[in-house]
Every structure is written in structure tokens, then in C-alpha cells.
Homo-oligomer: A and B are copies of this chain.
Amino acid sequence: MNKRADIVAGAAGAFEIDGFRGVGVDKVLAPSGASTRTLYKHFGSKDALVLAVLEERHRRFRERLEVATGSADAVAALFDTLRHWLEEHGARGCMLLRARAEYSEANEEIVALVRRQKDEFRRMIAARVEATLGRSDHRLATQIWILFEGATAAASVSDLSVVDEAKAAAASLLHAAQGSAS
């Protein structure tokens, strides 16, 4: 089960840099040193490997977010985690949305997976908003989600300070919501 994880980890780096459709399996396998034989024994197809990479990517990011949940401001921690993530992985846009776009007509399974992942992410944000605000605010949660996705996208053509600006905007919206009702 170790080689399988090596392949997924190595493939994630290749897909991150070259995209999905634009890179061949040989290049995807180069980081892990696995043979094409091993790839197809484990996954059956390149598309199935893409699915495994997306699941692993989402799982790791969710893990990171959960570690930072203990902090005082759960919403601000969201953006701090994003910034650290982008510093480590590079800012090339959300890998999940990039996969969705490249496979939007070619593989509906990938489209469905990303949709589920983003739905789950939105619920996590809504929970943090509710914990901070003392009440649920679906619209505010959506706005903070938009800021998060926007910062991720914008960072690919800007510097990482956009993440801090998104964080400040989220704080401002949260403050306005706290003032309006309790």
C-alpha cells in the first residue's frame, strides 16, 4: 500500500504544475519512480489516478484546517491556513476546480467529486460562522466562501497578500453581521 501512496503524492505535484490533460503518465510517474504497469495495477486508468489525487488533496487540506480550528477566530484561521498552504504548494489556483474545468465534458465522475468536496467545504465554513456569530448565517457563510475561492484564484496572478486582504474583508463582513443582530 506504500507504493500506491507514493504514486498519488508524486502525481499531485506533476498535475499541480502541468495540469491534467496536458501531462502524460510517464511524467506523472517520474517523481515516484513507479512503472506504468504498477500504475495500471493500482488504479486501472489515468482518470482513476486523478480521482485519487483529488481525494487525497482534499483530505490533506481538510486536515490542515481542522488542526487550526482551536484558535480564537475560526474564520480568520481559515485564511491563515490558506496562506501557509499556498506558500508551501505554490499558487496556481484550486486544483479541484482546475480538474473540474479540464474534465467538465470528459469525465462526469470528476465533476461530481469536486462538487461534493466544495459542498462539504461550504458546510465547514458555515459551521465556523455559526460558532463565531452564535447563530447561523447562510448568506455570510457563502460570502466568506467566495472570498476564500477568490483569494485562491487571485493569488495565481498576484502576490500572497491578497489572502490577507480576503481575511480582512471576511472580518469586516463578520463584524457587520455581529452589529446587526445578536
Contacts and interface: CB of A to CB of B under 8 A. Distances in A.
Interface of A: 17-22, 92-94, 97-98, 100-106, 114-115, 118-119, 139, 142-143, 145-154, 156-158, 162, 165-166, 168-169, 172-173, 176
A21 B98 CA distance: 12
A44 to B, nearest CB: 20
Contacts of A169: 143, 146-147, 169, 173
B172 A146 contact: no
Nearest to A119: B157
A173 B105 CA distance: 37
Contacts of A20: 22
A157 B176 CA distance: 27
A157 B118 contact: yes
Contact of A142 (B103, B105, B145, B165): B165
Contact of A97 (B19, B119, B148, B157): B157
Contacts of A139: 165, 168
Give the 6 A-B CB pairs with smallest separation, nearest first: A150-B150, A21-B22, A146-B150, A143-B169, A19-B102, A118-B157
A97 B104 contact: no
A161 to B, nearest CB: 8
Nearest to A22: B21
A46 to B, nearest CB: 12
Given A17-B104, A105-B18, A106-B18, A157 B114 contact: yes
A84 B139 CA distance: 21
